Chains A and B, each alone.
Chain A
């Protein structure tokens, strides 16, 4: 079966979901049926078919599953947002069109993603600029204590959504060049006595630190992992000058925690970086050192910065009466859990969950953005939620598959980075909503309401498809050559 047919067939479940979803929501609100609402579904499907034809004409060899999966997730989101607020769904549909335009533009103007490598420092600078924008006076906007949004006239957007793509492009390009150098061992490894000395010194250091600082169990474990990672890095006697940029990125992540005050997006960026570092160097020790440094820093800030501290408190004690009543306290996470419990195994059904209190106020704060996963679980139950996660897993699988078949290092790292950062974003927000980690305000890719999120993720998808098209094209050429 050709990629073309497979992609088109992949759109069938999308159309089914859109039709069934809208029909169900419409049926449950017989009071305010209007013809306009029913056209959303058709319009959305039209856009999908257009995108499909566009992909096939421009990127004939691209992975045929990525787009249908993204469309499925977007359809899911659209139905859910429509169910929460019909007006928001109309805006979301508009953003979807704009996102689609940016998607096409990316594919048309960026015929070869390798061109990005030439501008890597420009792109890195742009990414950093985007990240600090919300802190700039005049245009920055604070949401729930975190600096994530920018208000430019009538347009409000979340620059972090775009920054994640820029930073992944830079890291992929940078690590392709330096990855080898980071871990290239000297000719002679460290003599055994020196190795023992190193291990002894590290163990002693850990013990002294634990005693001096009076560290708890979690901190001690972190410190131990850090020491083990450090020892195994030093054993290979790497040239230390290449570690500068890594420390710089760690420092950046820490600054982000302080500046943007958002644990979730810091985790997303730093996690993406560690994923790339691991793929580029194959050194678990580097990841271990990086991860423990990040967690150590986060723990330090959790005890010293009040905003981060209260986020952690509400995470650990969501039903504490004081925290529940505090503004920006645990009300949101508590309501999220109650909504999920209400959903049960099979959920309440599309349009059946309780959203409005008798007084007319909303029971779930930010139901269409942060907590959309809770609404989905409420209405479709554990099965619906697991289905959504499975959708993301399939998308991630196709993303990594793209990385596997890509021919060159940059393409591989780019695909890995984009896929990882998307997977981490899903983990950060769904993990927040389900109390795996503290709840922070990032969007659920393709599903949550939000213009920046839709546009940025459509661009991300365009990049993945471009990489995929080149990879399969190259491989096809190679196989052709062999015959």
Chain B
């Protein structure tokens, strides 16, 4: 009998080992899936009990804080946003009933002070309550206010960033919303962040991308002469200049200053799809921008076909029309305001695109810096020489071309206007992208206004001026 008893004990050991194995699965290996399971309310209840960290503007003013209610184990915290609608889309919101969005979402782990398994033992041993960490953003309240005031309720978006660091100083999308209203008036609020989510036709601002490809590839220089007569057939269909103006043979510099469509369409056709898409990718097109912002709230800029798919160099789109910021039924160029700010910033930074960032640093409650977001190069778009030539050309646009409304007194501004027809040519998408000062750029900006009757130069350029003034000064104005 004894042999069977020993075997039976072996079986019991096996059964108990199965129990430990399953427990290991649920507690460790499969725990992540369970924690993110939609039916699991624990994380939400748990996080309600943690005072989330502050979200601060660049100057230290508070953009989001947690307010406690109740006491002891029943104490819970809710979020309040002292700045109201001013930072709405960039910061987002966090409420038990409605979930979270924006920076509240992308920085959630740090805001709730989530730590590694080992970190949590140590804090348990020290019997410390979990506390959120403070997130200092790169956003500038002055610039943000100026941008919101400049748009004055018109639907659109303004993004400003430092060319050398990629730090986003302004991210405004109108209509804005007051995050404090999220729990009560969720359905009425306009939660679309036009700065990162919208896909607009860029119009002539895209000629900056085409020009970068033209100059850096060595096939053109600013003095290259191209025939600017109008209309000219592009892909077999006649293309006209703005107002039907015929420029005749003209240099690239002048063609940018006067935004000559037929010249840039020819440049695009001579470069070819592959080269153009290659430079677009260097500028960050065809993928979500690497911003510390939720992926679901960003969209990739690029040439999209009618079904919304982003095309690469092999797609059979009309490269001439894409080169001037339009397109055809096979594919049209669509961009987000953030992407266009990145384009301006890359030119302003000598051809180096810096990775865009919304966070400057994350600081624990003990005052120690947990994470500092250092400037990081995303890609080298073009040579410093090509960038210098392009900056000079863009300077001409503001000095004597379509963008004079963006000029600041005492500071040279480089820029490019854009006007894209929308809604069957009944309205325009007005654009201005640029940076200043030209010799040592401190700020790049992209402004766009939806469905306006005016042009980029008259509608968008003055807004860029106001924002640049607020951010880098500039006498008078």
Contact code string A275-302 (vs B, CB < 8 Å = 1, else 0): 1001110100000000000000000000
Query: What is A's interface to B at a CB cutoff of 8 Å?
Result: 31, 275, 278-280, 282, 319, 321, 324, 334, 337-346, 348-349, 352, 354, 356-358, 363, 377, 381-382, 385-386, 389, 392-393, 396-397, 400, 403-404, 409, 412, 416, 420, 423, 426-427, 430-431, 434-436
Residues of B within 8 A of A392 (CB): 16
Contact code string B17-57 (vs A, CB < 8 Å = 1, else 0): 01110111011101100110101111001101000000000
Assess whether B48 is in contact with A358, with CB atoms less than 8 Å apart: yes
Instruction: From B2-10, B299-307, B444-452, give the one contacting chain A.
Output: B2-10
What is the CB-to-nearest-CB distance from A432 to chain B, in angstroms, rounded to a whole number? 10
Assess whether A278 is in contact with B74, with CB atoms less than 8 Å apart: no
Residues of A within 8 A of B7 (CB): 278
Report if B369 contacts A (CB, 8 A).
no
Residues of A within 8 A of B24 (CB): 382
Closest residue on chain A to residue B70 by CB atoms: A358
Task: List 5 contacting pairs A-B, 8 Å CB cutoff, sorted by A.
Answer: A282-B1, A338-B37, A339-B42, A357-B45, A409-B1
How far does the alpha carbon of A285 sit from the alpha carbon of B357 in the complex, in Å?
Answer: 70
Assess whether A386 is in contact with B45, with CB atoms less than 8 Å apart: no
Report if B124 contacts A (CB, 8 A).
yes
Assess whether B26 is in contact with A31, with CB atoms less than 8 Å apart: no
Residues of A within 8 A of B37 (CB): 319, 338
Query: What is B's interface to A at a CB cutoff of 8 Å?
Result: 1-9, 12-13, 15-16, 18-20, 22-24, 26-28, 30-31, 34-35, 37, 39-42, 45-46, 48, 72-74, 76, 117, 120-121, 124
Assess whether A341 is in contact with B4, with CB atoms less than 8 Å apart: no
Assess whether B117 is in contact with A344, with CB atoms less than 8 Å apart: yes
Assess whether A319 is in contact with B15, with CB atoms less than 8 Å apart: no
What is the CB-to-nearest-CB distance from A333 to chain B, in angstroms, rounded to a whole number? 11
Assess whether A420 is in contact with B28, with CB atoms less than 8 Å apart: no
Assess whether B27 is in contact with A343, with CB atoms less than 8 Å apart: yes
Closest residue on chain A to residue B13 by CB atoms: A393
Assess whether B26 is in contact with A436, with CB atoms less than 8 Å apart: no
**Contact residue among B26, B28, B72 (Cβ-Cβ distance under 8 Å from A434):** B26
**Contact residue among A354, A385, A403, A412 (Cβ-Cβ distance under 8 Å from B23):** A385
How far does the alpha carbon of A396 sit from the alpha carbon of B12 in the complex, in Å?
Answer: 8
Assess whether B42 is in contact with A338, with CB atoms less than 8 Å apart: yes
How far does the alpha carbon of A94 sit from the alpha carbon of B46 in the complex, in Å?
Answer: 35
Closest residue on chain A to residue B27 by CB atoms: A382
Assess whether A412 is in contact with B16, with CB atoms less than 8 Å apart: no
How far does the alpha carbon of A97 sit from the alpha carbon of B19 in the complex, in Å?
Answer: 31
Q: Known A389-B16, A400-B8, A423-B12; judge A338-B27 contact (CB<8 A).
A: no
Assess whether B76 is in contact with A358, with CB atoms less than 8 Å apart: yes
Closest residue on chain B to residue A420 by CB atoms: B8
How far does the alpha carbon of A416 sit from the alpha carbon of B41 in the complex, in Å?
Answer: 44
Tell me which of B26, B30, B120 has the highest count of chain A C-beta atoms within 10 A of its own C-beta.
B26
Residues of B within 8 A of A427 (CB): 15-16, 19
Closest residue on chain A to residue B26 by CB atoms: A340
What is the CB-to-nearest-CB distance from A396 to chain B, in angstroms, rounded to a whole number? 5
Identify 7 new A-B residue pairs, CB closer than 8 A, beyond the known A338-B40, A426-B19.
A31-B73, A278-B4, A282-B1, A339-B42, A354-B42, A354-B46, A430-B19
Q: Known A279-B1, A340-B27; judge A354-B45 contact (CB<8 A).
A: yes
Q: Known A319-B39, A377-B27; judge A341-B34 contact (CB<8 A).
A: yes
Residues of A within 8 A of B28 (CB): 344-345, 382
Assess whether A431 is in contact with B117, with CB atoms less than 8 Å apart: no
How far does the alpha carbon of A266 sit from the alpha carbon of B384 in the complex, in Å?
Answer: 80
